[in-house]
Amino acid sequence: MYYEILTTERSRRDPRRAFRRFPSVRRTGQALYRIQADERKERKIARICRRRHYILKRKYPEQLGRSDNYRRAFLAQYPRPAGGYRCRYCHRRIPDAKLTIDHIFPVYMAKTGRTFPMRLLGIEDVNDVRNLAPACRRCNYRKGSRAGLWIVRAALGKYRVYWILLRLAQLLLLGVLIWLVVSSSTILAEWVWEIRQWSGFA
Ligand SMILES: [Zn+2]
């Protein structure tokens, strides 16, 4: 199991010292530490947390975390197409050096036990290649640990026809906007002309 520990204003001792009997303890963020330990050690961890005023934030099973080899598994399953991968969310081509592999259902969701929608689609593990998508850094960063509409975009982004339809819809919208601007400016010009007629400026 993984245990996440948060220090508070009252905690004086560095968790790396307090948990020195746990060699896996390491700092993972501002005031955040992580310990990998057997479930049988949980009571001990909880006791240290109480005594040292740490908050035992959450725990999650190891297999729900990000695996070490998901990137390799994805690249093996979906070899690089000619010209390189395209971002699943914006369809831009990604230079190889900037390719990131995104977890469509975020790792965070699995860790916090919200696995129902994922399992509904037959995905048991967040690192399943079906839950992975190529993404550019910008989209990956913007997505973060969000789900919702991003999941739909990831599912649709796989199909070329989606991008064609999306571009067509965008062109159509642009056409309508141009038509609105042109027709309204023609009407406006007519009004101006008429007002000038009435007021005798012509
Ligand atoms: Zn993108």
Per the domain annotation, does 91 fall within a domain? yes
Strand, helix or coil for residue 26: strand
Q: pTM of the predicted model, to two decimals?
A: 0.59
pLDDT band at 63 (very low <50, low <70, confident <90, very high): low
Smallest CA-to-CA distance from 100 within 66, 132, 146 is with 132
CA of 106 to the centre of ligand 1 (A): 16
Burial class (CB in 10 A: 0-12, 13-18, 19+), 18: buried
pLDDT in tens, 123-172: 878 888 899 999 999 999 998 888 889 999 999 999 999 999 999 999 99
Residues 74 and 151 in one domain: yes
Which range in 54-63, 103-112, 171-180 is most confidently predicted, on average pLDDT? 171-180
pLDDT for 165: 96
Cα 135 from Cα 89, distance rounded (Å): 7
pLDDT for 38: 80
CB atoms under 10 Å from CB of 134, counted, come to 23
pLDDT in tens, 171-183: 999 999 999 999 8
CA of 87 to the centre of ligand 1 (A): 5
CA of 161 to the centre of ligand 1 (A): 18
CB atoms under 10 Å from CB of 73, counted, come to 15
Per the domain annotation, does 98 fall within a domain? yes
Percent of the chain having pLDDT more than 90?
46
CA of 121 to the centre of ligand 1 (A): 24
Q: DSSP secondary-structure letter at 148?
A: T
Contact 131, 88 (CB under 8 A): no
Of 35, 60, 85, the last residue of a domain is 60
Residues 143 and 173 in one domain: no
Tokens of residue 101, six digits: 């592999």
Residues 151 and 178 in one domain: no
CA of 90 to the centre of ligand 1 (A): 4
pLDDT in tens, 108-125: 888 777 878 888 888 878
Structural domains counted in the chain: 3
CA of 151 to the centre of ligand 1 (A): 14
pLDDT for 67: 73
Tokens of residue 122, six digits: 């037959």
pLDDT for 64: 63
pLDDT band at 14 (very low <50, low <70, confident <90, very high): very high
CA of 143 to the centre of ligand 1 (A): 10
The domain that holds 120 is classified in CATH as 1.10.30
Residues 86 and 152 in one domain: yes
CA of 105 to the centre of ligand 1 (A): 16
Mean pLDDT of all residues belonging to the chain:
88
Cα 117 from Cα 122, distance rounded (Å): 9
Residues 152 and 172 in one domain: no
Asked whether the predicted pLDDT for residue 97 surpasses 60, the reply is yes
Which structural domain, as residue segments, surrounds residue 105? 70-158
pLDDT for 62: 61
Say which residue, 61 or 121, is predicted with more confidence: 121
CA of 138 to the centre of ligand 1 (A): 6
Asked whether the predicted pLDDT for residue 31 surpasses 70, the reply is yes
The distance between the two most distant Cα atoms of the chain, rounded to a whole number of Å, is 95
